[in-house]
Structure 1
Amino acid sequence: MVPPFPFRFRNAEILTLYWRTDPEALTFLLPPPLQPTGDVACVHIYRMTDTDWLGPYHEANVMVGARLGDREGAYSPYLALSSDVGVAHGREVHGQPKKLASPSLEFRDDLVVGRIERNGIDVLTGTLPYKQQAVTPDALKPFFDFATNLNLKAVDHIDGRPAIRQITSRRLSEVTVHEAWAGPCTVELRPNAQLPVFRLPVMEPLQGFLWRADFTLVPGEIIHDYLTEAA
């Protein structure tokens, strides 16, 4: 259930949508000592077409810009995917709060539609015009560097005592972007107590991207250990 690093993602199709959110809501979701780098959130909805170990599946990653000292990246408060292996790996290795759900990425005539469905509720629905403006790969990260992912890893001993309390970091490797397209986007959120993305309300939809890429998931590092710092 927990494959070793590295493993390769090939020809992934990704819908990335940015929106301006409530700065206080964003800050509330960040575990100290992480600090926000702005008031923008994003979601990546992936159609993983060919992945080592996991096979084809769909995933969604909600992110906000964050920093720890001079290290900047993106913190993931919510992740949802259709792969049980992906859920196990994300939770046990990265500490990501992944949950089993049904993200989807569809092309409906001239519209790209991304959804995150859980418990029969479309927790998030996003749209983007289909391939209207070609852009270069460096345009994909206008607000924060999402390739560096920051996570809170919290694991307890069997008796309930804290075993692991860490901020972890990993960066995607060997990234090849085959194509990228930009346009105006929409983002709609619906409440769900088990996947509360609505806690990052949409104040203003910003920009969206549709892109296709290969990348490799590699080992990361521990950048803050709460138990060591508290000793």
Structure 2
Amino acid sequence: MLIEDVKKQISTPLGAPAYPKGPYLFRNREYLNIVYRTDMDSLKKVVPEPLEIEDPLVKFEIMYMPDVTGLGAYTECGQVIPITFNNEKGEYLHAMYVDNHPAIALGREASAYPKKLGAPKLYIDSDTLVGTLDYGSLRVANATMGYKHQPMDIKLAREELTRPTFMLKIVPDFNGKQKVCELVRTDISELTIHGAWTGPARLQLFEHVLAPMADLPVLEIVHVSHILTDLKLAAPTVAYDYLAKDKVGTNS
């Protein structure tokens, strides 16, 4: 393969890349979101500066994606923390567990999504919407919600999903030092909401050393949503560069 052709590749292995070139469209993407109150000191240990925490809240989310352009079908589960950055309200994506390798590779390589291999599931059990996360053979999370008990205002659902999302992009060099250390921002674009509901919910988190969701304990459930959407994710941008403060467009 010629050098100019190598430069055109987006992933390895050559001839069978881990994921195809985008754009990536998500159709019939289904969310179960449970916002809960947690311990402020625990939050401060995992939210990086210059992000700021106003309230000790965490959003536990499970997303079932049955139709993703180029990636197929998969499920994600994670924890998202409401923050402010430069006086703008947003969310910090703390951790994600995913059951699809192309989605993991794409999320980590081409963006900054903190994805690890896990086994999340979102399904209907009689009259209950159920979300679970297993890491290996062990259960990490159980979430249950009354299925479509109350309609949710579509405007509020849109506001919930369109807050800017911030993530850490960390890439080591061969000497073990950080080659890239950036705070990255992304947004949802071209959002269509097919339906949104709220209702009663419960959430249990179980201790696991490599999937430490329970380090942010559930003290009180604050808000619950079940949302069906089509959407597209905008390309990520650098919001803050930890290694090069004088770079144009960073640390603003």
Is residue 158–residue 193 contact of structure 2 (8 Å, CA) maintained in 1?
Answer: no
1:26 paired residue number: 43
1:64 aligns with 2:86: no
Q: CA RMSD in A?
A: 1.8
Which of 165, 168, 173 is equivalent to 1:157?
173
| Structure having the larger proportion of residues in strand | 1
How many pairs does the alignment contain?
A: 230
Is residue 27–residue 35 contact of structure 1 (8 Å, CA) maintained in 2?
Answer: no
Distance in 2 separating the partners of 1:68 and 1:147: 12
Gaps of 5+ in 2: 1-17, 248-252
Q: Displacement of 1:120 after TM fit?
A: 1.4
2:210 paired residue number: 194
Give the direction of change, closer, same or farther, for the CA distance of 1:116–1:149 in structure 2 (3 Å limit).
same
Q: TM-score, normalized by length of structure 2?
A: 0.86
Q: Displacement of 1:175 after TM fit?
A: 0.6
Equivalences for 1:72-151 in 2 at 5 Å?
72-140=89-157, 147-151=163-167
Identity within the alignment, %: 28
- Partner SS state of residue 211, structure 2: coil
2:9 paired residue number: none
String of CA shifts for 1:155-203, please: whole Å, max 9, x gaps: 1111222210100000011011100010121110001111101111001
String of CA shifts for 1:107-136, please: whole Å, max 9, x gaps: 111111101111212211111101110112
Distance in 1 separating the partners of 2:88 and 2:227: 26
Amino acid at match of 1:215: L
Which of 210, 219, 232 is equivalent to 1:203?
219
Q: TM-score, normalized by length of structure 1?
A: 0.93
Higher RCO, Cα 8 Å, sep 6+ = 1
Distance in 2 separating the partners of 1:12 and 1:116: 18
2:228 paired residue number: 212
